[in-house]
Amino acid sequence: MAVIAAQPYDYPLPMETGVALMIIDMQRDFLEPGGFGAALGNEVSRLQAIVPTVQQLQNTFRDRGGLILQTVEGHRPDLTDCPPSKRLRGNPRLKIGDPGPMGRILILGEPGNQIIPELAPQPGEPVIAKPGKGAFYNTNLEFLLKTHQITHLIVAGVTTEVCVQTTLREANDRGYDCLLVEDATESYFPEFKQATLDMVRAQGGIVGWTATAHQVLAGLAQWQAPPRFSR
Ligand code: TIU
Q: Encode pLDDT of 6-22 as tens digits.
A: 999 999 998 888 999 99
Q: How far apart are the C-alpha atoms of 165 and 196, rounded to whole Å?
A: 7
Determine the atom of ligand 1 nearest the C-alpha atom of 166: 9
Name the pLDDT band for 225 (thresholds 50, 70, 90). low
**Residue 1 has what pLDDT?**
87
- Which one, of 181, 171, 185, lies nearest residue 141 by Cα? 171
Q: Is the pLDDT of residue 231 over 60?
A: no
Percent of the chain with pLDDT over 90: 90
- Which one, of 37, 36, 26, 110, lies nearest residue 68 by Cα? 26
Nearest alpha carbon, ligand 1 atom 7: 163
Cβ distance 193 to 187 under 8 Å?
Answer: yes
Q: How far is the CA of 14 from the centre of ligand 1 (A)?
A: 33
Q: How far is the CA of 76 from the centre of ligand 1 (A)?
A: 18
**Residue 226 has what pLDDT?**
58
40 lines ligand 1 (CB under 6 A): yes
Q: How far is the CA of 3 from the centre of ligand 1 (A)?
A: 31
Please, which residues have CB within 8 angstroms of residue 193's CB and are 6 or more apart in sequence?
160, 161, 185, 186, 187
**Residue 213 has what pLDDT?**
98
In this prediction the pTM is 0.97
- Which one, of 224, 179, 229, lies nearest residue 68 by Cα? 229
Cβ distance 5 to 215 under 8 Å?
Answer: yes
pLDDT in tens, 44-79: 999 999 999 999 999 999 998 899 999 999 999 999
222-227 average pLDDT score? 70
Distances (CA, A) of 48 to 41, 184, 225: 17, 10, 30
Decide: helix, strand or coil at residue 42.
coil
Residue 130 annotated among the catalytic residues of the structure: yes
29 lines ligand 1 (CB under 6 A): no
Outline where 65-207 has alpha helix (H): 84-88, 141-147, 165-173, 190-205
Q: Is the pLDDT of residue 80 over 90?
A: yes
pLDDT in tens, 122-137: 999 999 999 999 999 9
106 lines ligand 1 (CB under 6 A): no
Please, which residues have CB within 8 angstroms of residue 1's CB and are 6 or more apart in sequence?
12, 13, 14, 15
Q: How far is the CA of 1 from the centre of ligand 1 (A)?
A: 36
Name the pLDDT band for 223 (thresholds 50, 70, 90). confident
Write down the mean pLDDT value for the chain.
Answer: 95
